[in-house]
Structure 1
Amino acid sequence: MAALRIWLRLKRATALRAGGAWARNKCQSSFGLLFDIDGVLVRGRTPIPAAKEAFRKLVDSRGEFQVPVVFVTNAGNCLRQVKAEQLSEVLDVEPPATKDFTQIEAVILFGEPVRWETNLQLIIDVLLTNGSPGDCVRTVPDPHLPILACNMDLMWMAEAQMARFGHGTFLVCLENIYKKITGKDLKYKALIGKPSIITYNYADCLVRKLGESRGLDAPVCRLYAIGDNPMTDIYGANLYNRYIQSAHKLPVPAKVAAGGMLEGQEEVPGIGPVHEGKLAGSAIESCKSILVCTGVYSRHEQLPCDPSVSVTETVFHGHRDFHFDPSLVEPSFEVQDVNEAVDLVFREENRD
């Protein structure tokens, strides 16, 4: 049987640019906003009430954005255009534009499937047969086919009261099954999506391009990343802020760019295909993290169930290949919801 070829679009986490042209006389923003979606703006298909109120503060009377806005999500369970249309309807804003990515040939894992056992079996078959699942397994390929994972979220927030298993949980299953069968570790060509630096670097580029294309009076130099998951949204934003600070001082080989996240690896999964070079240059001065309490994180419902225990003392939900740096889980700011987050940003930026 001919080798199974899996053709999919590579995503560094879905990045949607908010649409709408900004009035020239209001283009004075020197900051941009990065919004997570699930747990910040919506819970499943249900909008979080504070989201509409927050976005009314970001648009003018015509519904057009006054500051550069990028939506950064690990969710890959629908087409980007569908996600953009859903957001536009929920938030009553201009439809966000989507960004296409280059097609590649690889096994690319976007999000948790409906039938886990079927998909786990198929992926293992493909890996053990080097892409020819109709053949018998004679020897375990070493190295196996390239694998790219675009979502590392262990948990995510839908309509249910408790967080749901995310794609990170599916990866845990896949890694352990492969290890149990072969005695070898599953290796990734790249780990893409929050908290990977490459995701935030790409969002950074989008924000700055948006500012340039809309004629801002001042270049975007500060980012505020709003999210509900300390282990992905906050960890990733803080990690990117660390990268920004070090990038202005030092050359940025892969290990430095990873912020010391990985141990004993020359190629950094979080950096992906740019591990032999550098990430795109950035004029951004800082990336501050804002944690909301409407999703995965709640002030009173953390594990272990003791409100006196700091979030940095809880079990690390990050991916196997990322060691835990507790300092990166602490947000720059903590607020109740996205509406309070927008108010906070305006105060920080001395905006009315």
Structure 2
Amino acid sequence: MYFTIGKLLKIKSSIILKVYISKQFGLFIDIDGVVTRGRDVLPPAKKAFETMIDSSKLLNQPLVFLTNSGTSSTEEKSNYLTKLLDIHVNPSQIIMSYRPLDLFKKFSTKNTLISGQGPIENIATIMGIKNLITIEQLSKSYPLLDMMANARREIIVKDNMKSILPRIEAIVLFGEPVNWETSLQLIIDVLLTDGYIDKKFEMFPYPHIPIISCNSDFIWMAQWKNPRLGHGAFLSCLESLYKKMTGKELIYSAILGKPNVLNYLYAEKILYENAKKINQHHHSNPSNIQTIYAIGDNIESDIVGGNIYNKLLDKKIEKSRTQHSDFSYQHLLHDKNYVDLVDWTQLSDLDTSHVTQCKTILVQTGVFHSNLDEEREKAYKLSYNHRDTKADPSMKRADYVVKDLMEALKLIRKIEA
């Protein structure tokens, strides 16, 4: 057996890539548009993960999949990625958009209306919501609420309808529903009646009952050549309808998912835990992780989110230099309206984290394709960020722009070397 010089260089490059990709840094990797397009894996992504596994097909690189998907469980998503990439992906390595929901303990006992598709009842239960009501259950209990379809208008209710559901005290939107018109109508009804669904509209309560959204992506990338409307588009419809009906702005207790910094803090917590597990097998030190690379295809969520998170890390460093008391992210987020709702003890491990920076890498295999996208946004003054996302234009600039995930890993190897 013999090897050509080219073959040896290729082997050497692969070995070096594996060495550098398994030590001093962590990765936040988006899924849609970076790893997959629809149900298909992107070939460069599959090659990239082949450089980050050991002989048992276990990931030897501290990373988490940070996705704005919110209509499947982490188990379903991990099984899907395991089969697609031919590697072992643990459910703990996946941060779905709704993952920080279990930080909102005050919501756990409220009668909560949930919206979305997929196994959201199971997801809501896992996230600690004890008393839940689905849009479908609400529609079935009050069939006269949903009159969008002509066929439903023929329904004859023989008996007087009486309330058979308790007052709805909160709303959680997991992701885009299938029948938007039904969800929009029923959510508006709940908001305008203060959760007493059979109550006649009178003075509209304001502030209204608390509402949390788990995803604000206006567009996302599936298998078609152009982006598809996402949950952020549904939110725009809901906000517009609410303002048209009341003259007031819809208020969210929190909007989870990227670019919300809570998802990044949660991802950092999980990254550190996974690094400790990898340490047991590969003798890497999780405390060495100082840089996180956030890789995504969507400027408004992946890049803005990563840059907002990096800005928070800058504040953390500055704060730690100027005070000797115990540090807490809670004190840096005092201006957020959800700060009092969050159980910060679950993030206490981050108070001693060594992470100092987050670098953003934009790939061109999803929503973002080329500089033409930026030129179009400037020409038409477009912004796909959610109404409540507070980010100056500089937050939309990625630290690096590359072709695909494999190129991103090559870049990281070069930087870390």
**Identity of paired residues, percent?**
38
CA distance change for structure 1 residues 27 and 289 in 2, over 3 Å: closer, same or farther? closer
Give the Cα–Cα distance (whole angstroms) in 1 for the partners of residues 67 and 88 of structure 2.
Answer: 19
Choose from 21, 37, 41 the match for 1:47.
Answer: 41
Number of the residue aligned with 2:128: 103
Q: Deviations over 1:201-257 (max 9, x none)?
A: 110111111112332433222111100001110111111111101112127777954
Cα offset for 1:42? 0.6
Give the Cα–Cα distance (whole angstroms) in 2 for the partners of residues 293 and 28 of structure 1.
Answer: 24
Cα offset for 1:132? 2.2
CA distance change for structure 1 residues 59 and 239 in 2, over 3 Å: closer, same or farther? same
Whether the 8 Å CA contact 2:62–2:275 is kept in 1: the answer is yes
Cα offset for 1:56? 0.3
Cα offset for 1:28? 6.0
Q: What is the DSSP-based 3-state SS (H/G/I as helix, E as strand, rest coil) of the residue aligned with 2:71? A: coil
Whether the 8 Å CA contact 1:108–1:149 is kept in 2: the answer is yes
Kindly provide the amino acid, as one letter, of the partner of residue 244 in structure 2.
K
Number of the residue aligned with 2:312: 243
Give the Cα–Cα distance (whole angstroms) in 2 for the partners of residues 197 and 164 of structure 1.
Answer: 24
Number of the residue aligned with 2:336: 267
Number of the residue aligned with 2:354: 283
Q: Deviations over 1:109-158 (max 9, x none)?
A: 11111211111001101111122222222221222111001101111000
Q: Deviations over 1:83-112 (max 9, x none)?
A: 111111111111322477441363111111
Kindly provide the amino acid, as one letter, of the partner of residue 339 in structure 1.
M
CA RMSD in angstroms, aligned pairs only: 2.7
Cα offset for 1:323? 3.4
Whether the 8 Å CA contact 1:304–1:314 is kept in 2: the answer is no
Whether the 8 Å CA contact 2:304–2:391 is kept in 1: the answer is no
Kindly provide the amino acid, as one letter, of the partner of residue 103 in structure 1.
G
Give the Cα–Cα distance (whole angstroms) in 2 for the partners of residues 73 and 342 of structure 1.
Answer: 19
Give the Cα–Cα distance (whole angstroms) in 1 for the partners of residues 402 and 81 of structure 2.
Answer: 22
Report matched runs for 1:179-218 at 5 Å.
Answer: 179-215=243-279, 216-218=283-285
Q: What is the DSSP-based 3-state SS (H/G/I as helix, E as strand, rest coil) of the residue aligned with 1:140? A: coil
Q: What is the DSSP-based 3-state SS (H/G/I as helix, E as strand, rest coil) of the residue aligned with 1:214? A: helix
Report matched runs for 1:65-84 at 5 Å.
Answer: 65-84=59-78
Q: Which runs of 5+ in 2 are unaligned?
A: 1-18, 103-126, 132-169, 320-326
Q: What is the DSSP-based 3-state SS (H/G/I as helix, E as strand, rest coil) of the residue aligned with 2:81? A: helix
Kindly provide the amino acid, as one letter, of the partner of residue 288 in structure 1.
K
Number of the residue aligned with 1:227: 296
Q: Deviations over 1:37-68 (max 9, x none)?
A: 00001111111111110000111222111111
Number of the residue aligned with 2:405: 338
Q: Deviations over 1:241-298 (max 9, x none)?
A: 111011121277779548xxxxxxx4345x6833999974232011111100000001
Number of the residue aligned with 1:91: 85
Number of the residue aligned with 2:51: 57
Choose from 383, 387, 393 the match for 1:326.
Answer: 393
Give the number of the structure whose alpha-carbon radius of gyration is greater. 2
Choose from 191, 207, 212 the match for 1:127.
Answer: 191
Give the Cα–Cα distance (whole angstroms) in 1 for the partners of residues 241 and 128 of structure 2.
Answer: 28
Give the Cα–Cα distance (whole angstroms) in 1 for the partners of residues 307 and 171 of structure 2.
Answer: 29
Number of the residue aligned with 2:179: 115
CA distance change for structure 1 residues 30 and 103 in 2, over 3 Å: closer, same or farther? same
Number of the residue aligned with 1:13: none
CA distance change for structure 1 residues 231 and 272 in 2, over 3 Å: closer, same or farther? farther
CA distance change for structure 1 residues 297 and 287 in 2, over 3 Å: closer, same or farther? same
Kindly provide the amino acid, as one letter, of the partner of residue 299 in structure 2.
P
TM-score by length of 2: 0.69
CA distance change for structure 1 residues 158 and 272 in 2, over 3 Å: closer, same or farther? farther
Q: Deviations over 1:4-60 (max 9, x none)?
A: xxxxxxxxxxxxxxxxxxxxx999612111110000011111111111100001112
Give yes or no for the alignment of 1:161 onto 2:155.
no
Cα offset for 1:71? 0.5
Deviates more, 1:111-120 or 1:217-226: 217-226
Q: What is the DSSP-based 3-state SS (H/G/I as helix, E as strand, rest coil) of the residue aligned with 2:318? A: coil
Q: Which runs of 5+ in 1 are unaligned?
A: 1-24, 259-265
Number of the residue aligned with 1:19: none
Cα offset for 1:343? 1.4
Give the Cα–Cα distance (whole angstroms) in 2 for the partners of residues 175 and 90 of structure 1.
Answer: 37
Kindly provide the amino acid, as one letter, of the partner of residue 130 in structure 1.
D
Kindly provide the amino acid, as one letter, of the partner of residue 411 in structure 2.
L
Give the Cα–Cα distance (whole angstroms) in 1 for the partners of residues 336 and 64 of structure 2.
Answer: 28
Q: What is the DSSP-based 3-state SS (H/G/I as helix, E as strand, rest coil) of the residue aligned with 2:185? A: helix
